[in-house]
Amino acid sequence: MKVIAVAAALAVACAAALAQAADTKDMHHNHAAMAQASQAQATHQAVGFVKKPDAKLGTVSIAHGPVKSLGWPAMTMVFKVRDKALLGKFSEGRKVEFEFQERGKEYVIVAVK
């Protein structure tokens, strides 16, 4: 009888430990997903010179200075433009201050001055 009681107590303890481990794993997974989503929606600022706007593709190539929030050095890259109405502010050679967000594998300009 004592053997059955000990085995039952051990089974209950193991089940509780497994449930707690699963909860901890879910908590870490959810935290990582929230951090990734938060980082993806972070807005970054840069200043640069317009190299080539492309209204057809809704993109603009900009030679920009360092982006401290991402640890980027100065470089030239192509950005998507969230609102094609903003494309009128991107004329070749113009200096622009702009804000962008990382959305998946793309960097999308959300505001320009």
* Nearest CA among 18, 16, 38 for reference residue 26: 18
Domain spanning 43-112: which CATH class is it, in words?
mainly beta
Q: Check: CB of residue 43 under 8 Å from CB of residue 100.
A: yes
Eight-class DSSP state of 72: B
pLDDT tens column, 83-107 = 989 999 999 999 999 999 999 999 9
Tell me the Cα Rg of the chain: 25
Task: Give the integer Cα–Cα distance in Å for 113 and 90.
Answer: 10
Pick the more confident residue, 85 or 8.
85
Q: What is the pLDDT of residues 19-31, one digit of tens each?
A: 565 555 555 555 5
Ranges of each domain in the chain = 1-40, 43-112
User: Is the Cβ–Cβ distance between 82 and 110 less than 8 Å?
Assistant: yes
